[in-house]
Amino acid sequence: MPTLVRPPLKEARSRIFDSARWEPYRPRPDDIIIGTYSKCGTTWMQRIVGMLIFRDTEPRPVSSISHWPDARFTLPLETMWALAEAQTRRRFFKSHLPLDLLPLYEGVKYIHVGRDGRDAALSLHNHIANFTSAAFAERDEISLHDPKYGDRYPRAADDPAVFFHNWLEGDHAGNAPDMSFFQVERSYWHERCRENVLLVHYNDLKVDRSTEMKRIAAFLGIEISQALWPNLVEAAGFDAMKRASETIVSFAQDSLHGGSAQFLNKGTTGRWREIFSRADLAAYEARVRVEFTRSLARWVEHGRLVAGDPCAAPD
């Protein structure tokens, strides 16, 4: 049983996430937790980690091989943890919570994927705007029966620029303030120099996927044969994942218009430059100056290959 370094610093619940759902967690010494803000490369990292663990490129449904404890709309809590306990191979979990809402254990590996908030917000709009009626009904049911809310899950504005403005102003993606993009990034940055915490950036995965995957494999202590490595790198590419999306993100078939192909939408960066208003972009930059240190702001925008090693950053 890994040693508990610290328990969650607080509890928080939103319309879609609940940190209390981690309470039954019983860690194993080789567990992995992939923690990100929504639409920052979570599924990408799950695919990479899954291939490293299984040492092959076979597509597998991420929702079956990598459980998501904090989500309120997935499996019942008891069922999910029973399935996790029954897994005999190395486990890896998904979370969209800030690290300060998770228990921190010595030995458990935490991988965080960062992304420019403007890219994340645009991708999040595309995601929510394509929810099916069944997906909204599921979230409505949770929100209506939660005394904290008692109303329906908020619908996204059709215009992505309006959505971005609302995302900056407050909770317009079903999240609570304690789970904001800014809080998620701050929480992982604060623990960036722990030996069991690895920060990876979306931009770096796009620019040099092979190097980043080698960093991840080394961090997890997984050795991959030279003969297999090019196949893993190729299978982790966006086009390859898109071709296998009906298996990898099979859960999206019922929750999104366009199904799995819509879930893995574009995988690009910088499209926000053509969509968001100058005023809202200025407001985002002002928020970044308040919420982030200079080093964190540079890393969130650019990644390690431009900003340098996070652990070497002065602030």
Q: pLDDT tens digits, residue range 41-72? A: 999 999 999 999 999 999 999 999 999 999 99
**Rounded CA gap, 39 and 220, in Å?**
23
Model pTM score: 0.96
The neighbour count for residue 182, using CB atoms within 10 Å, is 18
Give the pLDDT band (50/70/90) at residue 263.
confident
Asked if residue 24 lies in contact with residue 70, where contact means CB atoms within 8 angstroms, the answer is no
Q: Is the pLDDT of residue 264 over 80?
A: no
> From CA 263, how far away is CA 246, in angstroms rounded?
10
Q: How confident is the model at residue 262 (pLDDT cuts 50, 70, 90)?
A: confident
**Tens digits of per-residue pLDDT, 153-208?**
988 889 999 999 989 887 566 678 889 999 999 999 999 999 999 999 999 999 99
Rounded mean pLDDT of 13-29?
96
Q: Which of 196, 228, 195, 229 lies closest to 211 in space, CA to CA? A: 229
Mean pLDDT of the 264-290 span: 88
Domains of the chain: residue spans and CATH: 4-312 (3.40.50.300)
C-beta separation of 20 from 13 below 8 A: yes
Paired with 198 in beta bridges are 111
Span 207-251, pLDDT tens digits: 999 999 999 999 999 999 999 999 999 999 998 998 998 899 888
Q: Give the per-residue pLDDT at 46.
A: 97
- The mean pLDDT of 249-257, rounded to a whole number, is 83
| Average of per-residue pLDDT values in the chain | 93
